[in-house]
């Protein structure tokens, strides 16, 4: 896309970052992890958690972080109805596209009755798509995932919405497609191969949301003896993005592990993070005491968010939008080019 036709993407991507150019984004779009946590807290099955409880939980989460996140990631079925009136209009709005239900071999599909066009109509600043992917999966599965991602990329380009692609590796030899946790047996080279695949121009990804190339709990502190070896994996992740900005996802990591991951990512070139459970999981564990959850978010949760923002500012390099050179030479050219 030329500068004129991509002007909408450029503007909206700026809205996802803070004034310094860092992405300090908070996710409350999780579905199975939140269902499971609320179910555990109330002693029922995840499928039996009432709609009203899920909405209430997501509203508390949104209220806890909306004032300081550069953008919030919400889903349309629970998160947006819960939080639309408490989200910060000065911050970015990222909306989820993929259904949390997948096939046993992790083929993705959109949420029913939901689309990139509807996200644009609602005022969303970006589209987020989680694609489970494994370079050693069958050709049919890989082709399905690639075709789906490419179609979403084309829809985002047509609507001029930034495309945020989240990639997650998964265990090949399991039929449990409900697990939303890090694959502790993953290999760094397979994580990198996945990113390299979708960095191809045909997928039109604007911002990568990536997992750690190493299991998060194995990532050492920045000053640890093994830090240099670990850092090489994160530098390779940066190279795999082929010049596109990228942020780290927390994938259910503990707060301490995610802080170490963000530190290495920042040094390697990441422009921020899009985190969920690492910020709020232990707070939500206090459910159904909503007052206790809110208090935990105001103290512990916000402290973590601020600490990660300071870490990015200290170790990272901010994202800057491409130079604005639309090549307009006469009155009417810009409007006509739209």
* pLDDT averages per 10-residue partition of the chain, 338 residues: 78 95 97 95 94 98 97 98 96 98 94 98 97 96 98 97 96 71 83 97 97 94 93 97 96 94 97 97 96 97 97 94 82 87
**Which domain CATH number covers 294?**
3.20.20.70
pLDDT at 182 (0 to 100): 73
Phi-psi region of 152 (alpha: psi -120 to 50; beta: other; left: phi over 0): alpha
pLDDT at 309 (0 to 100): 97
pLDDT at 185 (0 to 100): 79
56: in domain = yes
Output DSSP code: residue 87.
S
Our count of domains for the chain comes to 1
264: in domain = yes
Output DSSP code: residue 297.
I
The two three-digit tokens of residue 12, written as one number:
């909206």
The two three-digit tokens of residue 153, written as one number:
């990329």
For the chain, what percentages of helix, strand and coil (3-state, to nearest 5) are there? 45, 10, 40
pLDDT at 3 (0 to 100): 67
**CA–CA gap between residue 14 and residue 22 (Å, rounded):** 10
22: in domain = yes
57: in domain = yes
2: in domain = no
291: in domain = yes
pLDDT at 175 (0 to 100): 65
Residue corresponding to tokens 């070139």 = 269
174: in domain = yes
Residue 286's nearest CA partner among 31, 24, 45, 64 is 64
pLDDT at 17 (0 to 100): 97
Task: Residue 14: give the domain boundaries.
Answer: 7-337
**CA–CA gap between residue 296 and residue 306 (Å, rounded):** 14
- Residue pair 157/204 in contact (Cβ under 8 Å)? The answer is yes
Cis peptide before 237 (omega within 30 of 0): no
- Residue pair 58/79 in contact (Cβ under 8 Å)? The answer is yes
pLDDT at 174 (0 to 100): 72
CA 268 to chain centroid? 18
1: in domain = no
Locate all alpha helices (DSSP H) within the chain, ordered by sequence. Answer: 7-16, 32-42, 51-65, 79-83, 116-122, 139-159, 188-198, 227-240, 255-268, 277-284, 290-296, 302-315, 333-337
Phi and psi at 111, nearest 5°, equal -60, 140
**CA–CA gap between residue 139 and residue 216 (Å, rounded):** 29
Q: How many CB atoms lie within 10 A of CB 237?
A: 26
What does the buried/exposed string (b/e) look like for 179-202 if buried means 16 or more CB atoms within 10 Å of the residue's CB?
ebebbeebebeebbbbbbbbbeee
What's the whole-number average pLDDT of the chain?
Answer: 94
The two three-digit tokens of residue 180, written as one number:
């939303």
**CA–CA gap between residue 3 and residue 16 (Å, rounded):** 19
pTM, two decimal places: 0.95
Q: How many CB atoms lie within 10 A of CB 261?
A: 29
């Amino acid at each position: 896309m030329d500068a004129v036709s991509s002007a909408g993407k450029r503007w909206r991507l700026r809205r996802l970052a803070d004034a310094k150019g860092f992405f300090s984004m908070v996710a409350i779009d999780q579905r199975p992890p939140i269902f499971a946590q609320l179910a555990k807290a109330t002693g029922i099955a995840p499928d039996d958690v009432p709609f009203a409880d899920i909405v209430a939980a997501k509203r508390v989460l949104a209220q806890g972080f909306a004032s300081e996140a550069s953008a919030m990631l919400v889903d349309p079925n629970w998160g947006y109805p819960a939080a639309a009136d408490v989200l910060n209009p000065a911050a970015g709005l990222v909306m989820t596209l993929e259904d949390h239900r997948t096939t046993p071999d992790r083929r993705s599909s959109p949420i029913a009755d939901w689309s990139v066009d509807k996200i644009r109509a609602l005022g969303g600043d970006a589209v987020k798509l989680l694609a489970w992917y494994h370079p050693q999966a069958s050709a049919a599965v890989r082709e399905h995932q690639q075709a789906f991602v490419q179609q979403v990329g084309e829809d985002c380009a047509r609507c001029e919405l930034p495309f945020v692609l989240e990639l997650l590796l998964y265990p090949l030899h399991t039929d449990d497609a409900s697990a939303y946790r890090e694959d502790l047996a993953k290999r760094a080279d397979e994580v990198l191969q996945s990113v390299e695949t979708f960095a191809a121009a045909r997928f039109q990804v604007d911002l990568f949301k990536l997992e750690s190339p190493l299991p998060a709990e194995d990532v050492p502190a920045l000053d640890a003896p093994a830090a240099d070896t670990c850092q090489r994996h994160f530098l390779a992740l940066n190279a795999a993005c082929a010049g596109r900005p990228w942020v780290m996802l927390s994938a259910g990591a503990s707060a301490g592990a995610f802080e170490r991951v963000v530190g290495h990512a920042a040094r390697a070139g990441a422009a921020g993070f899009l985190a969920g459970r690492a910020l709020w999981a232990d707070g939500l564990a206090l459910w159904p005491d909503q007052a206790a959850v809110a208090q935990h978010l105001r103290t512990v949760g916000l402290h973590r968010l601020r600490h990660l923002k300071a870490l990015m500012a200290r170790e990272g390099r901010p994202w800057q939008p491409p130079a604005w050179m639309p090549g307009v030479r006469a009155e009417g050219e810009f409007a006509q080019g739209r």
